Structure 1
Amino acid sequence: MLFKSYNNKSFKQTEYYTRLPKDEKEIFDVLSSVFHFKVNNYVLAHLINWEAIPEDPIYKLVFPRKEMLSAFDYEKLKQLFKIGLDEKTRIGFVQSVKKKMHPEVKHAETGFPKIDGEIITGGYRNFPTILNLFPDPMVKTCHAYCSYCFRWVAFDNTEAQKKTAYRDPYDPIPYLKDNPEITDVLFTGADPLVLKASAIKKYIDPVLEIESVQVIRINSKALAWWPYRFTTDKDAAALLELFRYIQSKGKHLNFCAHFTHAKELENEVVKEAIQKIRETGAVIRCQGPLVKGINDTSEDLIALWKEQIANGLIPYYLFVEADHNPESCFRVPLAKALRVFQEAQKKTSGLARTVRGPVFMNDLNRVLLDGVTELNGEKYFVLKSLQSPPETNGEGKIKLIPFDEHTKDAGDLFELFKEKELEMNQIN
């Protein structure tokens, strides 16, 4: 299969657009004027059940939802479309909507790596032993876009890319040499594997020469969105050879695959791709978010973990929305997230116990929603810091927040896990 992608305009020329119910066409037309949209022929032909629109989980995962906008903004945009205003005329209102939807991503100033007081563009170090790297080509796009992804503002946004990515493969090397406590380097994006193997190698090669770096991590949704990347793409063999090359340099290669629903693992081409990656010696760990209406039942998680284990993958993290998006149509109430996760683990193989969850993951903290407890007749959610910036001294600590059956928000995790805050054993 040759890769072919579609944006909001070219998708309307496909047979799939004609198969959408009238209401879904309207929603697509309105929302794709605000949010970047990208899908490919594999997702359209093999992952979406077009007889189950709009409830099909993969359809919900790729196509924007009406609830992503406020009722007022959606209705106003719909009226602009109905009266026939062209794109140039609508642009003012669309831009105002985009501004309101801009994700609120918090960064710790100490997380930006510096040499001689100068920030190294394209790096971020929220935890002591890992450096996240964002090479410029890797942050530009994915094989398809997830509707919930907070990175949508970066797609086709060259100004954002200039501020957060680097071009010269050797830019982060002096920092890695000066900080031998960094053992893991994570290449992420958007998606690193949209690049040719030769381009990826160009950025990884200099890092492989740093003796203190023991682990190379690659985060990607390519297995779910375009498994042919590892089977029949022109440089599929070269990519797999790159994986072997990384390990021949004495490094552990952790391939972190992003899966949201079991349907993404059911195709034979996915199974073939997984086998080819595993044959290189790379370890595939799986992570993904809990998303309302897509995988927010225990049955969904059981099916997902069973498929992962059956294919030799390691369930790793189940994330919950932290604070990236101002709207909450993707979020699941914390009480439900905990209940669904615990029920699913009880009914799956013990091998599924490798998955940590539900976990809040923002750019400052990795916090586990560890349970519910009761003190002095009051119920609390128990939060445990799995990782946090070193200056907060929060790692390993436990905090309590008031239990609410309906809340979707854990509050400011950065402030919560600062050293000045009370620890659980200090609460009377």
Structure 2
Amino acid sequence: MILNQTGTRRFKAYTSKHLDELLRRAGLDDGERLKVRAVATVLPFRTNAYVVDELIDWSAAPHDPMYRLVFPQADMLPEADVARLADLLKAESPNAEVQAEAARVRAQLNPHPAGQMELNVPRMGEEPVPGMQHKYPETVLFFPKQGQTCHAYCTYCFRWAQFVGDADLKFASDDIGQLVAYLRQHPEVTSVLITGGDAMIMGEPVIRRYLEPLLELEQLESIRIGTKALAYWPQRFVSDPDADATLGLFEEVVRAGKNLAFMAHFSHPRELESPLVESAVRRIIGSGATIRTQAPLIRSINDEPAVWSAMWRRQHRMGMIPYYLFVERDTGPQDYFAVPLGRAYEIFRDAYASVSGLCRTVRGPSMSATPGKVCVDGVTEIAGQRVFVLHFIQARDPALVGRPFFAHYDPAAVWLTDLRPAFADVFPFQAAPARV
């Protein structure tokens, strides 16, 4: 293993109590800062010294993409909602009153998309199993209680509801025994995704407590860890006190015959430029783990083909595997960040066409919708109709996987629910209408 580097700073978090001070660095006036603070009562804000000092170009803020990636924007929410919250903050209203209004706004933002609370929660007997989701037959998601935060929050994050302090909106569990028992009852499950939040916010002893029991399950072929740590705190794998122990744990997982896959979130090429990131990637790959990269397509941050081709090329050179370009989910500030599906396809197509075949492991644009992961394969004309060509990469019903289907082209559509079926009365995942 590469030895830890010395002399790097310890982790320092910035939260909403630091927000006004940081916004001054971006040149925002009093009124603008008040509106941003109003948005931050609804959506979570957290960043750290590495992001603030190393990734953000403050001379270009507030238009810098890395700034927009972590700092709330005044127009991310409906103007009337922002105005009401700003008035409460300006009047120094009681916190309970501010939080009640913030909760009202949150309730309109679809905090749990794709049926997470209703359709995905597994059961043992009649009882729901907390902190788990079982959307696809072969894959279970587990949300460790200690991993329900991140080194910094992305403004687009579809799991924003995990971070706002409302227990009713959280998925979390610290009962690894219950997860193991559930997996033993479901031998069809071959992959576990440790997610959150970010599992890599946890120290090595805590991560070990969750991973070690999984190594005894013969049925498991892979363990995945969803993380943004490589972009927002690469020190976690290089110079943090338990970096070496963490890499040693990864080696144990690989020696146990499991594929350990990092699902690394990189949203912009600048996140890849630091020598710390290069060192962290080398150390993780040196442990025997693989790193697959993914991110959503986000308006005003990465909605250009050159941004994606640059990311995929650099990731490939560093030994990572480009994996997914996602469509921004139908939750939180989707209206602010969403790119129309037709434009999303063009961006993906142009970026995909400009990289070598070894980068073309990436898939997209993919919508993680209620029935499954729906990929936009293209826009074409069939029988005089302009249509989207779509297929399921993954689905609740495995029989749907890989089957092409069609939707009428709509230049304003940003999500599956905006589309109407073409050449059929319903989509393949919908029930046929009852005959009268």
Q: Normalization by structure 1: what TM-score?
A: 0.91
The CA deviation at 1:24 is: 4.7
- For 2:422, the equivalent position in structure 1 comes to none
Instruction: For residue 67 of structure 1, give the secondary structure of its aligned residue in structure 2.
Output: coil
Q: Say if 1:175 and 1:89 are closer, same or farther in 2 by CA, change over 3 A.
A: closer
The CA deviation at 1:187 is: 0.5
The CA distance in 2 between the partners of 1:408 and 1:13, in whole Å, is 35
Say which is worse superposed, 314-323 or 87-96, in terms of deviation.
87-96
- For 1:425, the equivalent position in structure 2 comes to none
Instruction: For residue 177 of structure 1, give the secondary structure of its aligned residue in structure 2.
Output: helix
The CA distance in 2 between the partners of 1:130 and 1:334, in whole Å, is 27
The CA distance in 1 between the partners of 2:42 and 2:127, in whole Å, is 36
Instruction: For residue 404 of structure 1, give the secondary structure of its aligned residue in structure 2.
Output: coil
The structure 2 residue matched to 1:127, chosen from 130, 136, 144, is: 136
- For 2:260, the equivalent position in structure 1 comes to 253
- 2:271 aligned with 1:241: no
The structure 2 residue matched to 1:266, chosen from 273, 295, 298, is: 273
Give, as a single letter, the amino acid of the residue that structure 1 aligns with 2:35: I
The CA distance in 1 between the partners of 2:97 and 2:213, in whole Å, is 48
- For 1:416, the equivalent position in structure 2 comes to 427
The CA deviation at 1:173 is: 1.2
- For 2:172, the equivalent position in structure 1 comes to 165
- Structure 1: 5+ residue runs without aligned partners? 423-428
The structure 1 residue matched to 2:58, chosen from 43, 50, 68, is: 50
The CA distance in 1 between the partners of 2:138 and 2:55, in whole Å, is 37
Identical-pair percentage: 37
The CA deviation at 1:354 is: 0.6
Q: Say if 1:89 and 1:306 are closer, same or farther in 2 by CA, change over 3 A.
A: same
Kindly indicate whether the alpha-carbon contact (under 8 Å) linking 1:6 and 1:40 is maintained by their aligned counterparts in 2. yes
The structure 1 residue matched to 2:76, chosen from 37, 59, 68, is: 68
The CA deviation at 1:374 is: 1.7
The CA distance in 2 between the partners of 1:77 and 1:212, in whole Å, is 51
Say which is worse superposed, 152-161 or 295-304, in terms of deviation.
152-161
Instruction: For residue 223 of structure 2, give the secondary structure of its aligned residue in structure 1.
Output: strand
- For 1:312, the equivalent position in structure 2 comes to 319
- 2:182 aligned with 1:175: yes
Q: Normalization by structure 2: what TM-score?
A: 0.90
- For 1:398, the equivalent position in structure 2 comes to 404
Give, as a single letter, the amino acid of the residue that structure 1 aligns with 2:301: I
The CA distance in 1 between the partners of 2:331 and 2:38, in whole Å, is 23
The CA deviation at 1:242 is: 0.8
The structure 1 residue matched to 2:35, chosen from 27, 30, 40, is: 27
- For 2:388, the equivalent position in structure 1 comes to 381
The CA distance in 2 between the partners of 1:119 and 1:83, in whole Å, is 43
The structure 1 residue matched to 2:201, chosen from 194, 203, 212, is: 194
Kindly indicate whether the alpha-carbon contact (under 8 Å) linking 1:295 and 1:301 is maintained by their aligned counterparts in 2. yes
- 2:18 aligned with 1:2: no
The CA distance in 1 between the partners of 2:96 and 2:115, in whole Å, is 34
Q: Say if 1:252 and 1:77 are closer, same or farther in 2 by CA, change over 3 A.
A: same
Name the Cα RMSD after superposition: 2.3
Which whole-Å deviations, capped at 9, do the CAs of 1:330-375 have from their partners, x for residues lacking one?
1001111000110111112222211001001135411110111222
The CA distance in 2 between the partners of 1:61 and 1:160, in whole Å, is 26
Say which is worse superposed, 277-286 or 393-402, in terms of deviation.
393-402
Instruction: For residue 301 of structure 2, give the secondary structure of its aligned residue in structure 1.
Output: coil
Kindly indicate whether the alpha-carbon contact (under 8 Å) linking 1:394 and 1:419 is maintained by their aligned counterparts in 2. no
The CA distance in 2 between the partners of 1:24 and 1:51, in whole Å, is 18
Total equivalences in the alignment: 418
The CA distance in 1 between the partners of 2:349 and 2:95, in whole Å, is 47
Q: Say if 1:179 and 1:260 are closer, same or farther in 2 by CA, change over 3 A.
A: same
Q: Say if 1:306 and 1:27 are closer, same or farther in 2 by CA, change over 3 A.
A: farther
Kindly indicate whether the alpha-carbon contact (under 8 Å) linking 1:121 and 1:165 is maintained by their aligned counterparts in 2. yes
The CA distance in 2 between the partners of 1:124 and 1:91, in whole Å, is 29
The CA distance in 1 between the partners of 2:142 and 2:95, in whole Å, is 36
Q: Say if 1:166 and 1:364 are closer, same or farther in 2 by CA, change over 3 A.
A: farther
Say which is worse superposed, 397-406 or 310-319, in terms of deviation.
397-406
Say which is worse superposed, 93-102 or 209-218, in terms of deviation.
93-102
The CA distance in 1 between the partners of 2:308 and 2:21, in whole Å, is 35
Give, as a single letter, the amino acid of the residue that structure 2 aligns with 1:124: Q
Which whole-Å deviations, capped at 9, do the CAs of 1:171-193 have from their partners, x for residues lacking one?
11122112222111111111000
Give, as a single letter, the amino acid of the residue that structure 2 aligns with 1:59: Y
- For 1:361, the equivalent position in structure 2 comes to 368
Which whole-Å deviations, capped at 9, do the CAs of 1:83-123 have from their partners, x for residues lacking one?
55454553443332232234242327564333333322222
The CA distance in 1 between the partners of 2:44 and 2:332, in whole Å, is 15
- For 1:331, the equivalent position in structure 2 comes to 338
Say which is worse superposed, 67-76 or 223-232, in terms of deviation.
67-76
- For 2:220, the equivalent position in structure 1 comes to 213
The CA distance in 1 between the partners of 2:165 and 2:101, in whole Å, is 19
Which whole-Å deviations, capped at 9, do the CAs of 1:268-321 have from their partners, x for residues lacking one?
111111111111111100011000010001111111112211211110000002
